[in-house]
Structure formats: C-alpha cells, structure tokens
Amino acid sequence: MFSKDDLLFKKKLDSLINKHLPEDWQEYPDETLDNHWELSKKIKKSLSEKKWIAPSWPIEYGGLDKSFTQSIILSETMSYRMAPGNDRFGVRMIGPTLLKYGTDFQKEKYLKRLAAGLNIGAFSLSEPQSGSDASNMITTAIKDGNNYILNGTKNWVTNGINSDLVLVFAVTKKGIGHKGISCFIVEKGLSGFECGKAENKLGIRASDTCELYFDNVKISKENRIGQEGEGFKIALSTLDGGRIGIASQALGIATASLNHSIKYSKEREQFGKPIANNQSIQFKIADMAMELEAARLLTWKAAWLKDHHKNFSALASMAKVYASEVAMRASTQCVQIHGGYGYIRETGVERLMRDAKITQIYEGTSEIQRVVIARSLL
Ligand SMILES: Cc1cc2nc3c(=O)[nH]c(=O)nc-3n(C[C@H](O)[C@H](O)[C@H](O)COP(=O)(O)OP(=O)(O)OC[C@H]3O[C@@H](n4cnc5c(N)ncnc54)[C@H](O)[C@@H]3O)c2cc1C
C-alpha cells in the first residue's frame, strides 16, 4: 500500500530522527520530562527545515503535497521513540480542520506558521461532564455583533499549555443538541482565556494536557470555522482522520515493545541459556509480531482509503481499536519478558506500557470505536 515515495520518505525520516533519538533512546528513563521537550524541539526544527512536520499539506501552506500516508509514517516513526509522537508538533488535528473547513484568510494566517513549527495547535472538544458524549458540552459562544463571547471549561487538552492556537467547540444555539455546536480558532493571550495546571499523567508524559478556562473571551466572527451549527460535524470529520494517527502511534509503541523483547530475550540468560530458548517466550514474541503485522495492514488500509478519497471512517475506528489493543498487549508482554527489570524505570520498557494505555482512551475510547464500527455495519 506504500508508494515508492512513501517508502523513501520513511527511510529518510528514520535516519533524521535517529540523529536526535537513537534506537537505544527507549532505554532512558522518562523522568526527565524537560529533556523530552528539549529533544522534541530539536527534532521539530530539523523536520520543519525539510517541511516534514506536515508533509501531506499543500505546498502553498507549508507542506509538500504528499500522501496522508506520509503523516502516518511520521506518527509511527516518532512514536517508536517517544510516544506522544508528533502530537508535540501540534498540527495533527488543527491542520486537517483548517484545510477542509477554514477560509482562505484562516488558512493563510495559521497553516504556514504551524507547518513551519513556529506555532503549536490544540484541539479542544472534551469537557468535564462530556467525554464520549461530546455533544453534551455546555461551553457557550454567544453572538454579540461581529463577535462571539466564549464562556466555559474544557478539559484534557493535549498541548493546552504549550499551544499558541486552540480549536474550541462551543454551543452557539442551545436546545438543539449537536446541531447547535460551532467551531472557533482561539488564539492564546486573549483576555479571560486561562490554562490550568499540567495533569500528572500515567503516560505520554512528554506532552502536556490541561484544562482551559474561558471567562467572557471575545472572539471575532472571522475566527469561526465553517458555518454556525457545523461544529460537531467538523469535530467528527477531524476525529476520523485523527484515529488513523492514533493507530499509527500505537504501531510505534508496539514495534518498540517487540524489538526490546527480541533483544532482551536473546541477552538474558536463566537456567544456563538465553530465555529466548524457551518456547513460552518465543510464542509471546511470535504473537506480538503477528498482531503487529495485522494492525499495521489495517492502519495502512485506512490511510490508503483516505488518500484515495474513499469512505474510511469504519476502517479508521477498526485500526484504532485493534492497533491500540495490540500496543497494550505487546507492551505488557515486553515488561513480562524483562521480568523484574521490566518493572523499574531505569530499564525504560515500563514506559511503553504506560504510553500504550492512552491509545485506547483518547480520540474516542475502544468502546466508542466499536459503537462506530457496529453502526457502520448495522
Ligand atoms: C491524556 C489525554 C489527552 C487528551 N487529549 C484530548 C484533546 O486534546 N482534546 C480533547 O478534546 N479531548 C482530549 N482527551 C479526552 C478524551 O478524548 C476523553 O477522555 C475520551 O473521549 C473519554 O471521555 P471521558 O474521559 O469523559 O470518559 P467517559 O466518556 O466518561 O467514559 C468512561 C467509560 O465509559 C465508557 N463508555 C462511555 N459511553 C459508552 C457507551 N455509549 N457505550 C459503551 N461504553 C461507553 C467509555 O468507553 C469509558 O470506558 C484526552 C484525554 C486524555 C486522558
């Protein structure tokens, strides 16, 4: 499913990222969060010089007009080393939304800076009372002449603290459910817009997640994306593509789990022989490799469908559920294969298990993905 161009991109990307984060990076403990951030800044700089932060975006907006598949390759390659993957670059969700629904003015103003790595974007749909049931949001954006006045609290915003721009979904017309939701691009620094503290998370600790507070924040109507009432449709459409991104993030974690398991099981000796000589270890590794291949094909197929403008929504959900479950199983087995050494921070593999968990939760939990898949079939 990969074109020659995609494969060449993968090779070049690997070699560039390897300069900053060599293979054995996984063996570093993740205590040094600041170090992760410094590293991801350096990687971002190198990638932006080659226009590889958003390779699938049009050339006029700072991309290379390449396939969507190349952004999936970027996500997997980054996540192999550092699980928030390309989330730290803050383009994955905001870019596709602006490209599909933004005005020329909005595209011109925001996309180039995002693709050049000069701005970081965030996507803010969830609220404390509305997670899976996202349309049950209560944040409001009430029209006031040429402006909207935004009030409410959002939570779980990836890059909330470090971002410059946030896509915010809010109710513009009450009482009509998801048809009353609209989407806005909100710049940091507006009066009444505050961020909460960074959440102390189980995994993906190299990206920040926080609450956002809006207290009578005035947003120009030029910052509304799409028509009034189109917000929920926009959110769902962005999430469809985003889910293939999460699947590829899970592939990166699962691949790292497999490679560490192979390496350690050949090195570690017990009862006078490498533990890899035991069939029970071999079967674990065989299962990991087999499931990883299946997950990768599913993810690539979803990306291929998207690249070929075919309906990919159910496949994106299948890829996300399956790849995230594979990553969770592979990383858990990887810790098991490392025995006690797998359970301590110094060895680094426990981080894979902690990082894998989020892929089953954000951008729609595994349960919600199954709802999407079943709906498409029934
Ligand atoms: C680290 C992190 C980063 C995040 N980043 C972002 C972000 O950038 N932007 C953003 O908008 N959100 C973000 N989220 C939010 C994330 O998308 C939500 O946490 C997720 O959608 C689940 O919502 P919830 O946590 O409210 O759980 P709930 O919706 O309360 O679900 C709780 C449990 O019930 C299950 N459940 C709910 N409804 C059903 C149903 N109908 N059928 C079966 N089971 C069901 C769920 O699957 C889950 O197991 C992030 C979350 C985390 C933890």
Write down the pLDDT at residue 41: 78
* Contact (Cβ atoms closer than 8 angstroms) between residue 115 and residue 62: yes
Write down the pLDDT at residue 26: 55
**DSSP-derived secondary structure letter, 230:** -
| 361 CA to centre of ligand 1 in angstroms | 6
Write down the pLDDT at residue 240: 95
**Residues taking part in catalysis:** 363
C-alpha dihedral, 274 to 278 to 283 to 289, nearest 10°: 10
- Pocket lining for ligand 1, CB < 6 angstroms: 123-126, 131-132, 156-158, 201, 209, 358, 361-365, 367-368, 371
Write down the pLDDT at residue 329: 98
The parts of the chain modelled with pLDDT lower than 70 are 22-37
Write down the pLDDT at residue 23: 64
Q: Tell me which residue has its CA closest to atom 30 in ligand 1.
A: 131
Write down the pLDDT at residue 2: 78
The closest-lying atom of ligand 1 relative to the alpha carbon of residue 132 is: 29
Which amino acid does the sequence have at 148? Y
pLDDT tens for each residue of 288-333 = 999 999 999 999 999 999 999 999 999 999 999 999 999 999 999 9
The closest-lying atom of ligand 1 relative to the alpha carbon of residue 199 is: 1
Three-class secondary structure of residue 355 per DSSP = helix
Q: Tell me which residue has its CA closest to atom 14 in ligand 1.
A: 156
| 1 CA to centre of ligand 1 in angstroms | 31
Write down the pLDDT at residue 214: 98
Q: Where are the alpha helices (DSSP H) in the chain?
A: 4-20, 33-49, 68-81, 94-101, 104-106, 112-115, 231-267, 279-307, 313-337, 339-342, 349-358, 366-377
| 203 CA to centre of ligand 1 in angstroms | 15
Q: Which residues contact 320 (CB under 8 A, 6 or more apart)?
A: 243, 244, 246, 247, 250, 359, 363, 364, 366, 369
| 368 CA to centre of ligand 1 in angstroms | 9
